[in-house]
Amino acid sequence: MNLIIALGLIGATLTTISLLPQLIKVFRSRSTKDISAGMFTLFGAAVFVWLIYGVLIKDIPLIIANSFALVQAIIILLFKFKYK
């Protein structure tokens, strides 16, 4: 495997799983008091743009990683508004 591809896959994997601990914590505690809606809105917008970019250049790792990250960010934002 090419070093550049390996680095991309590692970065995509880390980005994708980075929100998982926060999502699990929110799900278990039902508390979002310390979560910034602005941060997750900006993050969601950023991964959405990366997702579109990945689709346009047909880059499967980018598409997969940003799809999962976007879903996680949306779920956290939904919890933010539900559990104020």
Q: How many domains does the chain have?
A: 1
Q: What is the mean pLDDT of residues 25-33?
A: 91
The predicted pLDDT at position 5 comes to 84
Domain boundaries, position 52? 3-82
Q: Residue 70 — very low, low, confident or very high, per pLDDT cuts 50/70/90?
A: very high
> Can you list the pairs that 17-24 forms with residues at least 24 positions away whose Cβ atoms lie under 8 Å?
18/69, 19/69, 19/72, 19/73, 19/76, 20/72, 22/76, 23/72, 23/75, 23/76
d(Cα 8, Cα 35) in Å, to the nearest integer? 28
CATH number at residue 47: 1.20.1280.290
pTM summary value: 0.84
Q: Residue 16 — very low, low, confident or very high, per pLDDT cuts 50/70/90?
A: confident
